[in-house]
Amino acid sequence: MIIELKSLDEIDPCEFAYYANDPNINTYLRNSFPAPYTLDHALSFITHSLQHHALDFAIVVDGKCVGCVGVTFQKDIFLKNAEIGYWLNSQYWGKGIMSQVIKMLCSYLFSNYTIHKICADVFAENKASCIVLEKNGFIQEGYRREHIYKDGCYHDLILYALWRNSDEY
Ligand SMILES: CC(C)(COP(=O)(O)OP(=O)(O)OC[C@H]1O[C@@H](n2cnc3c(N)ncnc32)[C@H](O)[C@@H]1OP(=O)(O)O)[C@@H](O)C(=O)NCCC(=O)NCCS
């Protein structure tokens, strides 16, 4: 299995939309992730990301664009922090893909940017995402009870972080 991170201008928006349009993906994502996910959604996401020089990468597995990972650099007094978010089409879950992607991404971020800390906010029920982060050295640094309101229910939020001076970096 070949896993690559590609710029959004190198991928087919139709393929991106096809794999993003998966009802299993958005359970633990923010409401800004559309469901259903159309070609128009893909085009506007890709255009906006490229125009604003955002750090978003397509996750390409054996030549198919089946997911995405994005980085949001924080501002002001938080400027040494970067927040990551990610999704993968559910046909590709459980194969170790995101664990490898997060490893590649963190290594890239610490090598190319002067950030001190990488953060990720995770629904407490999202065990797969917690494991992916923990396998990559992220530590649970906070827990916010009923901090999320989605689809009529409250959910707990876990704050994960990885520091530049951790064992791996
Ligand atoms: C979270 C997500 C990115 C994980 O990607 P993935 O490629 O399937 O992850 P990996 O295969 O690298 O690792 C998943 C790990 O979680 C484990 N896991 C999966 N579901 C689990 C569950 N319900 N309970 C316990 N462990 C679980 C897997 O066994 C695996 O652990 P292992 O490597 O020790 O066997 C993927 O499920 C996804 O895209 N979900 C929808 C979007 C999302 O939630 N994004 C994260 C927002 S913070």
Specify burial of residue 46 (Cβ count, 10 A radius: 0-12, 13-18, 19+).
buried
Looking at the structure, give the CATH architecture of the domain made up of residues 3-163: 3-Layer(aba) Sandwich (3.40)
Residue 168 pLDDT exceeds 80: no
Q: How far apart are CA 114 and CA 11, in angstroms?
A: 28
The Cα–Cα gap between 79 and 152 comes to: 33
Whether residue 129 is predicted with pLDDT greater than 90 in this model: the reply is yes
The predicted-structure confidence for 49-75, as pLDDT tens digits, reads as follows 999 889 999 999 999 999 999 999 999
How many other CB atoms are there within 10 angstroms of residue 56's CB atom? 20
Alpha helices in 88-151, H assignment, sequence order: 97-112, 127-135
Per-residue pLDDT tens over the stretch 8-63: 999 999 999 999 999 999 999 999 999 999 999 999 999 999 998 899 999 999 99
- In this structure, the residue with its CA closest to atom 15 of ligand 1 is 128
Contact 55, 73 (CB under 8 A): yes
Tell how far CA 150 is from the center of its chain: 18
Query: Can you give the residue ranges of every domain in the chain?
Result: 3-163
Kindly tell me if the per-residue pLDDT of 167 is higher than 70.
Answer: no
Task: Provide residues with CB under 6 Å of ligand 1.
Answer: 25, 28-29, 86-88, 93-99, 120, 122, 126-129, 131-132
